[in-house]
Amino acid sequence: MSSQTESPSRPAVPATMPAVVARSYGEADVLAIDEVPVPVPGEGEMLVNVEASSLNALDWHFLTGTPYLLRIAGGVRRPKRRIPGADVAGTVVAVGAGVTGFSVGDDVFGECEGGGCAPFLVVDATHVAPKPDNVPFQTAGATPVAGLTAIQALRTHAAVQPGERVLINGAAGGVGTFAVQIAKALGAEVTAVCSAGNVDMVRALGADTVIDYTTDDFAARGDRFDVMMDNVGNRTPKECLRVLQPDGRYVVISGPKKNRWLGPVPHIARKALAFWRASQTFHQFTASPNVEDLTFLGEALASGRLKAEVQRTINLDGVAEALAEIGTGHTRAKIVVMPK
Ligand SMILES: NC(=O)c1ccc[n+]([C@@H]2O[C@H](COP(=O)([O-])OP(=O)(O)OC[C@H]3O[C@@H](n4cnc5c(N)ncnc54)[C@H](OP(=O)(O)O)[C@@H]3O)[C@@H](O)[C@H]2O)c1
């Protein structure tokens, strides 16, 4: 047993733990459940006993090391981020030097640099917020990356106003299911785009109009929107401009993945150029954790104004199959991992 700080009411922190580990870059078959050391929190960090995490598209990118551009930061030959799971909800079991505002025994949720597919992980204390008591761990663990992306797209970048018309392309995935609800909460009239099998779910989340992209083309309907949030990035710049009002805002978080070296970067750059010449504005960003947005999400979950749409909950044995599903680009809502 280690000597890390422990709550008297909680079990001792073991020296090692089972974790889903990527032994190299590859697909789901490079994942194994290995016994690994429990990490030790450094300055500004906390050790969290993970009750729930969830999987995101970024876990697939870190697993496969694609686009290759990602390997500059993520590890050239082998992944630095070996344990998937960038979402965390759990209980603080040790605090590093310099951490203020949190103590052993606090329930928190937030975003981490991977590690959620294990019973313990180390997280930057500025990347988590207190978990409201009435929000289950499963819900809190499903929320951070996808919820932060949705709120930063719609509130920070698009500054959605009550009464505005918002189009959400890719409404059925992790980000989309939060985005539909957050756009409604901001007072928008929401049109959501997804495939036939997800229409009922997206409507139940509050979308005013749902377009099945397998039978209907939103860009050919003649509708105009104040904001387009694009979670897919599969349409041309011309098509995106066509559906926006002259003062509309386009917020994109994704793009075609065909280019194995650069991923969506060339496509997004072409779009930025097209918007630079137009009256509509272009917004592309990478979501980041901050206490204000996490607190907003926590309060919305606690009040029932927001829900995490969970497709299924798995344990460590189910992670490889779930990540393969995420790699298809057609995951429905969130897959939660409960590692214990
Ligand atoms: N920039 C950032 O900070 C940031 C943050 C989070 C995610 N992302 C990126 O944003 C994208 C979405 O993330 P996510 O977590 O929501 O992914 P996800 O959970 O894997 O969901 C992807 C969704 O895309 C939908 N989709 C696929 N093709 C579509 C099409 N032609 N038209 C409309 N919808 C389509 C799928 O719905 P159907 O099954 O109905 O087709 C699926 O539900 C990913 O590429 C991810 O890498 C970026």
Residue 99's CATH number = 3.90.180.10
Shortest-distance Cα residue to atom 33 of ligand 1: 170
Report how far ligand 1's centroid is from the alpha carbon of 292 (Å).
25
Ligand 1 neighbourhood includes 328 CB (under 6 angstroms): no
Output the domain CATH number for residue 170.
Answer: 3.40.50.720
Ligand 1 neighbourhood includes 146 CB (under 6 angstroms): yes
| CA geometry: angle 102, 108, 112, nearest 5 deg | 100
Backbone torsion region of residue 197, taken as left when φ is above 0, otherwise alpha when ψ lies between -120 and 50, otherwise beta: alpha
Question: pLDDT for 63-109, tens place per residue?
Answer: 999 999 999 999 999 999 999 999 999 999 999 999 999 999 999 99
Q: Same domain, yes or no, for 276 and 152?
A: yes
Q: In which domain, by residue range, is 257 found? A: 146-284
Q: Are 172 and 181 in contact (CB under 8 A)?
A: no
* Residue among 138, 132, 88 at smallest CA distance from 113: 88
Tally of CA atoms within 13 A in the half-sphere of 150 that contains its CB: 31
Instruction: Give residues with Cβ within 8 angstroms of 215, minimum separation 6.
Output: 196
3-state secondary structure 87-99: EEEEEEEEECCCC
62 within domain boundaries: yes
Report how far ligand 1's centroid is from the alpha carbon of 329 (Å).
6
Shortest-distance Cα residue to atom 2 of ligand 1: 286
In whole angstroms, what is the distance from residue 159 CA to residue 29 CA?
Answer: 42
In whole angstroms, what is the distance from residue 241 CA to residue 85 CA?
Answer: 35
5 within domain boundaries: no
Ligand 1 neighbourhood includes 56 CB (under 6 angstroms): yes
Task: Name the pTM for this structure.
Answer: 0.96
7 within domain boundaries: no
Q: Same domain, yes or no, for 269 and 182?
A: yes
Question: pLDDT for 244-276, tens place per residue?
Answer: 999 999 999 999 888 888 989 999 999 999 999
In whole angstroms, what is the distance from residue 226 CA to residue 338 CA?
Answer: 39
Site to probe by mutation for ligand 1, drawn from 151, 181, 193, 194 as the one with most ligand atoms within 8 Å of Cβ, is 194
| 268, 284, 300 - which closes a domain | 284
Q: Quick one: pLDDT at residue 141?
A: 98
Q: Are 102 and 125 in contact (CB under 8 A)?
A: yes
Question: pLDDT for 181-238, tens place per residue?
Answer: 999 999 999 999 999 999 999 999 999 999 999 999 999 999 999 999 999 999 999 9
Shortest-distance Cα residue to atom 12 of ligand 1: 231
pLDDT class of 3 with cuts at 50, 70, 90: very low
Query: Reduced to 3 states, what is the DSSP secondary structure of residue 252?
Result: strand
Q: Same domain, yes or no, for 152 and 272?
A: yes
Tally of CA atoms within 13 A in the half-sphere of 141 that contains its CB: 30
Helix (H) or strand (E) run with residue 233 in it: none
